[in-house]
Chain A
Amino acid sequence: MSVDLSLLPDGGVGWLDASGRYADIVLSTRIRLARNVEGYAFTGRARDGERLRVLAQVRDAVTAVPAMHESVMYRLDELPPTSRALLHERHLVSKELAGLNVQHPLRTGAAVFLADGLGLMVNEEDHLRLQSLRSGFALQEAFAAIDKLDRDLGARLPYSFHEEFGFLTACPTNVGTGLRGSVLIHLPGLVLTKEISKVLNSLQQMGLTYRGLYGEGSEVVGNFFQISNQTTLGRSEEELLDQLLRVVGHVVEREAEARRVLLRDAGYIIEDKLWRAYGTLRYARSLTFDEAMNYLSGVRLAVGLKLITSLSVYTLNKLLIFSQAAHLAFAEGRALTESETNLARARYVRKALEEEAGSVG
């Protein structure tokens, strides 16, 4: 059985539509809550039967939650690796839940419920990982949606909760609110002006942390950073998000300022560099993932600086997702070797840019 993504509203990637605030700098906002169901060992310690009972109990509760009425459920443990990779590349499930991580083999009972902008992973590191995903910089909206889902689910499922420690999680770094807010942000200006290390250092002093495109353990490619709260305990949900909101707002301002400085002080060098990136994407015959990400970063900056005006941020967002290995293999309808993937990637990017090229230049 393979996964039918057409069942999902917007294919699960509505957050790519670049409709949110500061969409040329901030790709998306994600908030997740970690919860466990009372009465069972946590996922890592639970046996197959326990995890299946957790899933059954969650399933019952989900049917009674309005926001999840139209949701689609995928049993990861019944999907082939290619389909699981597809869901992961769309940021709909974690690498761990998809069983794509060497340290975490696929678990019996691993499942995900997906609705418009909302997700519910079952039998991840915690029994439940609720997710809310929004285009652009939208922490409040994302929180409103997930808080509602959390309260509705929590009224039907007994969560593990401790008077002093709050919501209990397998990993002590998530305990308390269980809340991790993260903003996926594109910072080429700060990288090019070499301001980035200062900014990243100050993040850490403010109790925030950063990761790459795919969260924990992933590398920073294409100047994309995920900024999120480091701690989950000792401050309320609102305080945690407020801090993130203020600091990311400040980072967005610094990025905008860095871009202005670049244009003012090194206008033609930057312009040349970015057009070369566009030229490479437009005509290259083979592209590795990292290459594609780096050139896409350049083109995204060119669009943000209005040097290229006929390309939409939406197209660039789609390229980020659809030029990944599992998506290319899916489009070709077969497994691809690494070099075939690089060829297919270049072909895909070329075609997408050609379609929008029209009056570019």
Chain B
Amino acid sequence: MLCDSCHERDAVVHLTTIENNAVHQLHLCERCAAERGVETTVATPKHPLGEFLHDVQQQVALAGTDSTRCSFCNTSMADFRATGLWGCARCYSNFEGPIRELLRRVQGSHRHVGRAYHPPMTETLERATMLGELKERLRRAIESEQFELAADLRDKIKVME
């Protein structure tokens, strides 16, 4: 991307300003940014999560996934951006693509090479976990007034019980 000001050099500073409730984005090269008094040395957040959130912001702008919500805990990309935290394990499947990309940036990798793990899954435990999950989803469906989904879940629970 070229600098919005000189149209010659690569833009390295992405400036977001809010004026009269309108959001302006300006992409500047280092020199033009300095000329406008934009401090570039502090532009890189020091905290790893700061960079991460910065990346998320850019990612979201590109992918337009802001409205997608996790089917289990209802967390959205906007929620993640506000807190820096995912809402549940399911978020990792629901936002798998963006998460993979972000992990690559913040962790330098997206592939776990540490110890493998298989959760204890006796039949009773498996049933209990699934039942617990279904009930949890039912509660959430009712809370968010998704009644069709709720009826569906209620049927599934009935079958399992």
Contact = CB atoms under 8 A, between A and B. Distances in A.
B74 to A, nearest CB: 8
B48 to A, nearest CB: 6
Interface in B84-139: 84-89, 92-93, 99-100, 102-103, 106-115, 117-121, 125, 129, 132-133, 136
A284 interface: no
Given A158-B129, A173-B48, A177-B114, A40 B119 contact: no
A235 B84 contact: no
Contacts of A168: 86, 89, 92
Interface in B67-96: 72-73, 75, 83-89, 92-93
Interface in A141-194: 154-168, 170-173, 175-177, 179
Interface string B49-61: 1001000000000
A333 interface: no
B109 A234 contact: yes
Interface of B: 48-49, 52, 72-73, 75, 83-89, 92-93, 99-100, 102-103, 106-115, 117-121, 125, 129, 132-133, 136
A182 to B, nearest CB: 15
B114 A42 contact: no
A172 B52 contact: yes
Given A233-B110, A233-B112, 8 more contacts: A41-B73, A41-B87, A42-B88, A160-B89, A175-B112, A231-B108, A233-B109, A234-B107
A162 B107 contact: no
A165 B112 contact: yes
Contacts of B125: 158
A125 B110 CA distance: 21
Interface residues of A, number: 43
A172 B115 contact: no
Contacts of B87: 41-42, 44-45, 170
A123 B114 CA distance: 24
B125 to A, nearest CB: 7
A173 B85 contact: no
A166 B106 contact: no
Contacts of B112: 162-167, 175-177, 233-234
A170 B107 contact: no
Contacts of A177: 112, 114-115
A234 B120 CA distance: 25
A237 B116 CA distance: 11
A15 B132 CA distance: 40
A354 interface: no
Contacts of B75: 45
Contacts of B119: 38, 154, 158-159, 161
Contacts of B108: 207, 231, 233-234
A39 B89 CA distance: 8
